[in-house]
Amino acid sequence: MSVQISAVRTLPGGTDKCVIGGTGFVVDHGGEMYLVTNGHIVTGRHRTTDHYLGLPALPHYLKATFPIAGVPLGEEELAPIGTRTENLSLYDDDDRALWLVHPQFGRKFDVIALPLKDLDKRESTQPRIALSPYPIAHSLPVSDFEPTRDVSVVGFPFGLSAGARSAIWVRGSVASEPWAGFEGDPCFLIDARTREGQSGSPCIVPWPSDEGTAEPEAFPWRLVGVYSGRTDSASDLGRVWPVSVVSTIIDARRRDDVRLV
C-alpha cells in the first residue's frame, strides 16, 4: 500500500512548512523494512542540478500517512481502513542524512530507502500501522516485461486521496525498452497521466495468472519500480527506476552525504 508523504521544514518560530509532497511505499528486503521514495522528495532538490524545487531549504522530517491495521474478529483480521500519521526523522543527532542512496550515482538515481525500525510497534493510542510491504524477492525484473505492457502507478496526485485516505490508481503502459535505459540512466519510460504528488509511487503489475509460483494470493501485485515524475510538464511520459536500483541501494547501505543546514 502506498504512503502519502509531506517533506516538512520547521521554520524559526516553530512553524512547520511543507517543502514538497509526494508518495512512498514500504519494501521488505531480507526481513528489514524500508520506506522507498524519490531523492527529490527527501531533499526538495532536483536530482541532477541540485537546485531547490520550491522552498529553498532542506526538509527536517517526513510526515508520512500509513494505513492502519484491521480490527481482529475471531481468527480473521479485517482489511485496513483509515490511516495513522507518523513523523519520520531524516537526520541523526549529528545532522547526517539517515536515508540510503545509490553507492555510485547517489541521488542522480532518483530513489532513496529510509530504514524503518519498529515503526509498527511505536507506542500510540491509535490502531496499529499496517506496513503491507512489497517483498523485493517477489518483484519483477526488467527482463520479464516489454513495451505496451499495462502498469499501475499508485499514489496521491495533487495530494488527493480516495476513501479512507487510500491511494489513487493511475493506469499506464510501458513506453520504452526497459533493458535499454533512458538518457544514459537505468530507468525506463511509461505513458500515464500522472501528476504532481505521485513522485515516489510504486509502479506495479498484477501477479500473472499463469505464474504458478507459491502463494500468489499473498502477493497479488508485483513491484516493477519507483515512479519519479514526468520528463517535462507537457508530457505524459514519466520515468520509472527498476527494482534492481532499490536492491542495490539497500545492499550497499550508503547514506547520503547531505547534511542538515
User: Considering Cα of 111, then 244, then 224, then 136, what sign does the dihedral take?
Assistant: negative
Find, among 26, 8, 30, 10, the residue nearest to 18 by Cα.
8
Q: How far is CA 136 from CA 130, 212, 245, 247, 248, in A?
A: 18, 18, 11, 7, 11
**Cα(160)–Cα(94) distance, integer angstroms:** 35
The structural domains of the chain, with segments of one domain joined by +, span: 2-255
CA–CA gap between residue 202 and residue 150 (Å, rounded): 14
DSSP-assigned letter for residue 99: S
Q: Give the helix/strand (H/E) hosting 100.
A: strand 100-101
- Name the burial class of residue 46, with classes exposed (0-12), middle (13-18) and buried (19+) by CB atoms within 10 angstroms of its CB: middle
In the prediction, which pLDDT does 215 show? 52
Query: What are 101's three cell numbers?
Result: 542512496
Lookup result for grid cell 519500480: 225
DSSP annotation of 122: S
Instruction: Please report, as a single letter, which amino acid is at residue 111.
Output: V
C-alpha to C-alpha distance for 11 and 81, rounded to whole angstroms: 33
What is the model's pTM? 0.91
Q: How far is CA 91 from CA 33, 42, 218, in A?
A: 18, 11, 34
Rounded Cα distance, 258 and 52, in Å: 13
How far is 20 from 57, CA to CA, in rounded Å? 11
Over its C-alpha atoms, the chain yields an Rg (Å, rounded) of 18
- Burial of 126-165, coded b for 16+ CB within 10 Å and e otherwise, reads ebbbbbebbebebbbebeebeeeeebbbbbbbeeebeeee
Amino acid letter, residue 242: P
The CATH classification number of 2-255 equals 2.40.10.10
- Note the Cα 87 to chain centre separation in Å: 16
Q: What is the pLDDT of residue 136?
A: 92
**Which stretches of the chain drop beneath a pLDDT of 70?**
70-81, 120-126, 208-219
